[in-house]
C-alpha cells in the first residue's frame, strides 16, 4: 500500500512506484529493451485469443518506437492486418527488469527502411539478403505499458535475494511503474 506521498513505499512494501510519461517513458523503454531485446510478441488470433511468439527487436527509435523483421506472408502479419494491436513482454534476466508494452503495429515494406535496419545476421532467415522479397518490417508504436526495474542490475539483485532468503528479511524489489506515451 502506498503512503500519501507518491514514490514512497509504506512499511509493508519494498518497491517504489514511479509512473513515467512522454520522453521519460520512451527512455525507460529504450533502457529496458537494450538490456534484453527479445520479447514475446503477442497478436490477437483469428479467434481473438492472444497469440505469442518470441521475437527480437531490431531497433528502438527515439519516442519508444520498436522495429522487428518478419516474413511478409507470416501468420502474425495476417493477424495484424485484421487487428494491429499488440502486447509485448520483455524480461531482462532472472533478477532484472521486466517490461510489458501495449501498442499498435504498422507493416512496412519500404526498401529504404529495410536497408537502414538490415543486419547481416538476418541472412539466417532472409537468405536473399536485404533485397529478399519475403521481408517486411513491423513498426510498433507503444501506447502504454508497465515496468519493473530492480535498479541494481541482476548480479546485485541476486545477492540481495540470497541475503533475504538467509536472513528472512524482505528485500528491496526495485521500481514499478506505468508508462504512457
Per-residue confidence (pLDDT) for residue 165, from 0 to 100: 52
The answer to whether position 3 is within a domain reads: no
Cβ-count burial 141-179 (b if 16+ within 10 Å, e if not)? bbeebebbbbeeebeebbebeeeeeeeeeebbbbbbbeb
Per-residue confidence (pLDDT) for residue 11, from 0 to 100: 38
The answer to whether position 124 is within a domain reads: yes
The answer to whether position 23 is within a domain reads: yes
Per-residue confidence (pLDDT) for residue 95, from 0 to 100: 57
Overall domain count for the chain: 1
Output the nine-digit C-alpha cell for 12.
Answer: 509493508
Enumerate residue ranges in the chain where pLDDT < 70: 1-15, 93-95, 151-173
The answer to whether position 13 is within a domain reads: no
Residue 11's contacts (CB-CB under 8 Å, 6 or more residues apart) are none
Beta-strand ranges (E) seen in the chain are: 15-17, 20-21, 38-44, 50-56, 59-60, 66-71, 85-91, 98-108, 135-149, 174-180
Residue 87: phi and psi, rounded to 5, are: -130, 130
CATH code of 66's domain:
2.30.110.10
Predicted model pTM? 0.80
Per-residue confidence (pLDDT) for residue 173, from 0 to 100: 61
The answer to whether position 134 is within a domain reads: yes
The answer to whether position 6 is within a domain reads: no
Name the nearest CA neighbour of 79 among 109, 40, 105, 113: 105
Residue given cell 533478477 in the structure block: 95
The answer to whether position 109 is within a domain reads: yes
Amino acid at each position: 500500500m502506498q503512503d500519501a506521498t507518491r514514490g514512497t513505499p509504506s512499511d509493508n512494501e519494498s518497491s517504489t512506484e514511479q509512473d513515467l510519461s512522454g520522453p521519460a517513458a520512451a527512455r525507460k523503454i529504450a533502457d529496458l529493451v537494450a538490456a534484453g531485446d527479445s520479447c514475446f510478441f503477442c497478436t490477437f488470433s483469428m479467434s481473438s485469443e492472444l497469440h505469442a511468439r518470441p521475437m527480437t527487436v531490431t531497433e528502438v527509435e527515439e519516442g519508444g518506437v520498436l522495429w522487428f523483421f518478419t516474413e511478409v506472408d507470416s501468420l502474425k502479419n495476417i493477424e495484424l492486418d485484421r487487428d494491429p494491436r499488440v502486447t509485448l513482454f520483455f524480461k531482462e534476466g532472472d533478477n532484472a527488469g521486466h517490461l510489458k508494452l501495449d501498442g499498435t503495429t504498422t507493416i512496412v515494406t519500404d526498401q529504404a527502411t529495410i536497408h537502414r535496419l538490415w543486419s547481416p545476421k538476418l541472412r539466417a532467415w532472409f537468405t536473399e539478403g536485404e533485397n529478399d522479397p519475403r521481408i517486411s518490417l513491423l513498426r510498433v508504436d507503444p501506447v502504454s505499458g508497465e515496468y519493473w526495474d530492480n535498479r541494481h542490475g541482476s548480479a546485485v539483485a541476486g545477492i540481495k535475494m540470497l541475503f533475504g532468503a538467509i536472513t528472512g528479511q524482505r528485500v528491496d524489489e526495485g521500481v514499478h511503474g506505468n508508462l504512457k506515451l
